Amino acid sequence: MSAVKDILDIIQETTMKRGAPIPLPIDVVTGWVKDLHIPKGGDTVLYTGQLYQIVPYINRYVRRIESVSTAELKLAKVAGKFLDISMFIGKPSQEEVERQHSIIRNIAKLLMKSGVRFGYLYEDDAYSGVLLHDLGLEDVFVNHARKIYHEFKKYNVKNVITIDPHTTNVLRKVYPEYIENFDLDVTSYIEILAEKEFNNVGSVSKNVVIHDSCIYARSENIIEQPRKLLSRIGITVFEPLRNKALTFCCGGPIEVLFPELSRKVAETRIKELRVIGKEIVVACPICYANLSRVAQKDIEIKDLSYYLTLGLVGEDNED
Amino acid sequence: MKTEELIKNIVKAQENIELQLGLERAVVNFSNAVAKVLDRFPDLVKLAEYVRIVKEKVLTDLDYYIDQTIKNVNATGAYAYFTNDRGSLLKIIDDIVGEERKLIIKAKSMVTEEIMLREYLSEKGHEVYETDLGELLIQIAEEKPMHTIAPAIHLTKERAAQLLRKLGLPVNREMKHEELVLHVRKFLREKFIKADIGISGANAIAADSGTVFLIHNEGNISNVVTLPPVHIVITGVEKIMPTFKDAIYQVMVQSAYAGLYPPTYVNIISGPSSTADIEYHRVYGAHGAKEVYVILFNGGRIDALNNPVLREQLYCIRCGRCQIACPIWGLCGNIWGGRVYGGPMGIGWTAIIEGIENAIPLSWFCLLCDACREVCPVKINIPRIVRFLRTKT
C-alpha cells in the first residue's frame, strides 16, 4: 500500500495544516469576482468550495505524480510537512487559472441575471473536504466539515449556492450525516436557473453532446435541468449511449492515485461521446479536466455555464 | 494481494489485446441484453425490489432460516448439512465421494471456486470435469473466472480451440464456433453417462420446502443433477429464500439482470428421484439421482452479518451486472478482484470470504461513480463498502 499511503499522508497533512489538499493562493480562490461587486456574506452565498480553482493544480499534480518515483514521493512527503506542497506541484499557467475564473464569473452573472441576490465569503470561501471523504480520511474530514459549517454559521448563512457536483453532494448529503442539526439549504446553481424565467433569451443554434456527471445524475438527480436550460436557448442536446442515471464516469476520481488507469477510463468515455458529436458539454470541473486530458484536437469540451451565458446573459462570454 | 501487485496486473491487462476485446464485446452485448429484457418484461424491476425486501428478512433471522432449510431438505429425502469452513466442508465431501477414484462432473459454481473444490478433488485422484463450456475452458487454462456469469469472456475462439486440444479433442484453430461446441458436446456426453457424482451450486434454495433451484442455458446442469446416481449441492447460506415462490422470484431476477431471461432451463430439485409405480412401493433412484446431499456453507458470511456496511453484500444475487457497468472492470475484468470474486461485487465478497485486509487494496481502484449501485437489482450500496474499506487502510 505504500504509494497509496504516501499520497494519503500528504493530502491529510496538508489539509490539516493548510485547509486544503493543495493550498491555493487567495487571489486564485477569489480572483474571479473582480468588478462584480458581490457583497460579503449574507443569507444566501455562492460557495465555490475551491473545486474549479483547484483543478489546474490537480492537473499539474497528476503530471508530477506520473513522472516521479516512489522515492521522490517520500521526499515530497517529508517536504510537505515543512514546506508548501505547492512547491512540489509548481504553478499552473495564468491562462488555466483564468479559464476557471471565467467559468465561476459566468455562473455568478447567470445568477444575477436570473434575479438571485447572493453574497460571497471571499477569503472564507474554503475547500469543502470532499477529497478527504472520498479517500476514507474520515476523522480529518469530519473535523474539516465542522470547521466549514462553523464558518457558514459565523456569517449567518442560510442558503448555499453550489457550482459543482462534488461540493453540492458533500454539503447536501454528507455533511448532514456528521453534523448535528445541520440546517443549511444547499442548491446547485443549475437547479436554481432551471426554475427561473428569463427575458430576452438568445438563440444559440448549436448541437452538443451531453456528458452527465455521475454525482449530479445518480446522487443529486440533476438530470433534466441542464437539458431544459440548454434547449431553452435553442441548443440541440444529443445523448450518448450511456447517459442520465446510467452515465459513464470520466475517470477523474482516481487520477490522484492511478493517473494511467484514470486516463484509460477517460479514453473509453471520449470514444463513446465523439461518435455522437464533437462538441461536448460538461457541468463538473473534474469531468472537464479528465476528458480534456485525452480529447483529440477536433473535440471541444465546454462547461455548461459557457452555453448558458451565450444564451441567457446576452453579453460577451468570458471564456 | 498487495496494491503494487494489483497495479502491475491491471497495467498488464491493458496490454492484453484478447482480454480488452473480450471485455469490450461483453460490456456491449451484456448491457444490450439486460436492457432488452427489462424493456420487454418491466415487471421484473418490481420483482427485484421485492427480492431485496425478502433477503433483508432472511438475513435478519438467518439462524431460523438455516434450521428450516435443513429440516425441510431432510424431509425431501435428501441429506442436509451446514458447515462453517472449508475444512469441514471438504470432510463431508470426502465422506460422500469416498476414497476410490470417481468420475465427477460439475456445474459452474462460485462457492466451489471459494473452496477450490475442483483442484482438491483432482489432487485426491478423482477425475473432475466442469460442464459449463466457459468454466471448462477456465479449468483447462488453470485460470480464474473473468466474470460471474461469463467466466471465459477473455478467451478467443482460437485460444478455446487450443485449450480443448489439451483435453484430447480433435479440434483446430480454423474450426467454427459451432464445430467446437459440437466436439465438446460429444466429449461431455460420455462423461455425463459415466459419471459417479454430479456437483452443483444453487441459484436459490427454498426454506419452506427444501427445494434447490438452478438456472442455465447450456442444458449441462440438467445432466449434472439427474444422470449421476449421486448429486451434491453446495451453496452459500445467503441463497436461502423463505418460500418456494420467493426462490422462483430470485432466479427470475437473477437471470433477467444477467440478460438471460427467460432462462432456457430451470431445474427445481426436491430430493432424490423415486418411483412408486410398482405396488405403490417407493423406490429411490429412478431416472435421476438416488442420493442428494445439500451442504449449506458459511465461509465468512455469518460474521459479515455483524458488519452493518458489509452485510449488504449478502443480498447479492450474483447477476454480474455491476461488473458490466463499472468503468474499471471494463478495463481489466476480474483481474481487479480477489481470489474468486472481482469487480464491484468482488470488493464486498472478497472482504467476506478472504477478510477485510485482503479487500482494502481493491477498494482503492474504485471511482465512486455509483454506476454499480445504480444497476444493481437489489440496490447494494457498493460505494459505501468501498468507503468503509478505505477508512481501514
Give CATH for domain B60-299: 3.40.50.10420
CB B258 within 8 A of CB B321: yes
Q: A200-313: which CATH topology?
A: Rossmann fold (3.40.50)
* Grid coordinates given for B135: 468454466
Grid cell of B20 as nine digits: 480488452
Of residues B4, B330, B390, nearest to A135 (C-beta): B390
Distance CA B83, CA B18 (A): 40
A319 pLDDT more than 70: no
Quickly name the fold that domain B3-40+302-391 has: Fumarate Reductase Iron-sulfur Protein; Chain B, domain 2 (1.10.1060)
Average pLDDT over residues A56-75: 74
Length of chain B: 393
ipTM of the prediction greater than 0.95, yes or no: no
What is the reported pLDDT for B181? 97
Please report, for chain A, the start and end positions of each structural domain, with discontinuous segments joined by +.
Answer: 2-193, 200-313
Q: Which residues of A touch B11 (CB under 8 A)?
A: 260-261
Look at residues B59, B61, B66, B98 and name the one whose alpha carbon lies nearest to residue B81.
Answer: B66
Q: Which amino acid is at A215?
A: I
Among A73-82, A189-198, B13-22, B90-99, name the one with the lowest average pLDDT: A73-82
Per the model's pLDDT, the better-predicted residue between B127 and A9 turns out to be: B127
Name every residue whose Cβ is closer than 8 Å to that of residue B360 and which is 6 or more positions away in sequence. A1, B389, B390, B392, B393
Give the pLDDT of residue A259. 87
| Chain A residues close to B8, C-beta within 8 Å | none
Angle of helix B17-40 versus helix B244-257 axis, rounded to 10:
130
Give pLDDT < 70 ranges for chain B.
1
Nearest to A248 among B327, B331, B390 (CB): B327
> Given this model, what pLDDT does residue A62 score?
79
Q: Which of B164, B141, B131 is nearest to B18 (CA)?
A: B141
As a whole number of angstroms, the distance between CA A14 and CA A8 comes to 10
Test A3 with B4 for CB contact under 8 angstroms. yes
Average pLDDT on A113-134 reads 96
Neighbouring-strand partners of residue B236 = B297
B363 contacts in chain A (CB < 8 Å) = 136
Give residue A316's pLDDT: 52
What digits encode the pLDDT tens for the residues A161-172?
999 999 999 999
Cβ neighbours of A5 in B, within 8 Å = 393
As a three-state string, the secondary structure of A5-61 is HHHHHHHHHHHHHHCCCCCCCHHHHHCCCCCCCCCECCCEEEECCCHHHHHHHHHHH
CB-based contact, A272 to chain B, within 8 Å: no
pLDDT digit string, tens, across residues A262-291 = 999 999 999 999 999 999 999 999 999 999
Three-state DSSP class for residue A133 = helix
Look up the pTM and report it: 0.94
The C-alpha atoms of residue A244 and residue B312 are separated, in whole angstroms, by 26
Cβ atoms A251, A213 nearer than 8 A? no
pLDDT at A82: 47
How many helices and strands (H and E) does chain A possess? 16, 8
Answer whether A18's CB lies under 8 Å from A82's CB.
no
B367·A249 Cβ contact <8 A: yes
Task: Tell me if chain B has a CB within 8 Å of the CB of A219.
Answer: yes
Q: Between chains, do B367 and A248 touch, taking CB under 8 Å as contact?
A: no
The predicted pLDDT at position A94 comes to: 94
Q: Taking the domains of chain B in order of start, what are their residue ranges?
A: 3-40+302-391, 60-299
* Predicted local distance difference test score (pLDDT) of residue A81: 56
Cell numbers found for residue A136? 476514507
> What's phi and psi for B82, nearest 5 deg?
-125, 130
A265:B331 CB<8 A: yes
pLDDT at A60 over 90: no
Q: Is the CB of residue A238 less than 8 Å from the CB of residue A208?
A: yes
> Which residues of A, range 140-199, sit inside 8 Å of B by Cβ?
none
Q: What is the pLDDT of residue A75?
A: 61
Comparing A87-91, A119-123, B307-311, the range with the smallest average pLDDT is: A87-91
Band (A69; pLDDT cuts 50, 70, 90): low
Q: What residues are paired with A160 via a beta bridge?
A: A45, A186
Q: What share of chain A is helix, strand, coil (3-state, %, to 5)?
A: 55, 10, 35
pLDDT in tens, B210-248: 999 999 999 999 999 999 999 999 999 999 999 999 999
Where does the pLDDT of residue A2 fall: very low under 50, low under 70, confident under 90, or very high at 90 and above? low
Interface of B with A (CB under 8 A): 2-4, 7, 10-11, 14, 325, 327-328, 330-331, 360-361, 363-371, 373-375, 387, 389-393
Provide the pLDDT for residue B7. Answer: 86
pLDDT, average across residues A108-131? 96
